[in-house]
Amino acid sequence: MTDVELVVLDMAGTTVADDGLVVDAFTAAVTEIGVEPDSPEFERMLAYVNETMGQSKIVVFRALLDGDEQRAQRANAAFEARYASLVHDGRCVPIPGARETITGLRAAGTRVAFVTGFGRDTQDAILAALGWTELADVALTPADAGRGRPYPDLVLAAVLRTRTTDVRRVAVLGDTPSDMLSGLRAGASVVAGVLTGAGSRAELTAAGATHVLDSVADLPGILGAVVPGAKRLAAGIECTRE
């Protein structure tokens, strides 16, 4: 395997624990368009949101609302506004070891990209709340790439933005089957799932994960053969994990 030049990291559920904010924001979104919480329609929609976790939220709302673009945009705007308003109340925190993993990878010469299914304002709010605005080399949303997951666009946009030489020199980490499909379709050599978010081991494996890890803190351990200095980084993370 060639050296990994770029690590593409999902945010919510992978590097960030958001304590159920997606459900809270979804409730605000569907209430905005007239769906009553706890109604059969609400439960149907929530099940679909959970099933498609990791995908672009505007695409999810379009599917839920049968392509009604006006209602989908209203719902998405309410979702993003509610989520962004909640990230500063302590319910949005780093996954243990995430910061150390990212800073260690960059110190070893590996570029790091954050990707998300949220919009730009929400991603910026999360990064600001965590003090992560400058933590990665680039942070991308579906609007930056063209399409969200499970399409390969976010990973390929990160490749272009960071001038990575070969898609085979990319590692992708996420917590949903959509993350796995996105990485595989982009041609990444490492497409690893984590168990800190929405996906189970069985779901991530079925989606084609090359590795399934307990958390982002375990990533340096599987990159030890391909990232200069990653073995030392893995040892350091292990010593500092909570």
Residue-level pLDDT at 240 = 42
Q: Residues 96-130: pLDDT tens digits?
A: 999 999 999 999 999 999 999 888 888 998 999 89
Residue-level pLDDT at 191 = 96
29-33, 109-113, 139-143, 225-229: segment of lowest average pLDDT = 225-229
pLDDT at 190 over 50: yes
What does the pLDDT average to over 214-235? 67
What does the pLDDT average to over 24-46? 84
44-53, 105-114, 139-148: segment of lowest average pLDDT = 44-53
pLDDT at 242 over 50: no
Provide the mean pLDDT of the chain: 86
Highest mean pLDDT among 5-19, 34-48, 57-71: 5-19
What does the pLDDT average to over 49-63? 82
Residue-level pLDDT at 211 = 96
Residue-level pLDDT at 87 = 82
pLDDT at 198 over 60: yes
CB 13 within 8 A of CB 118: no
60-64, 189-193, 214-218, 222-226: segment of lowest average pLDDT = 222-226
Q: Which residue has the higher pLDDT, 131 or 198?
A: 131
pLDDT at 152 over 90: yes
Model confidence at 48, pLDDT cuts 50, 70, 90, reads: confident
Residue-level pLDDT at 28 = 83
Single pTM value for the model: 0.81
Nearest residue to 185 (alpha-carbon basis) of 161, 167, 166, 202? 167
Model confidence at 24, pLDDT cuts 50, 70, 90, reads: confident
Residue partners of 51: CB distance under 8 A and separation at least 6: none
The fold of 6-18+92-240 is Rossmann fold (3.40.50)
Which residue reads 């506004």 in tokens?
81
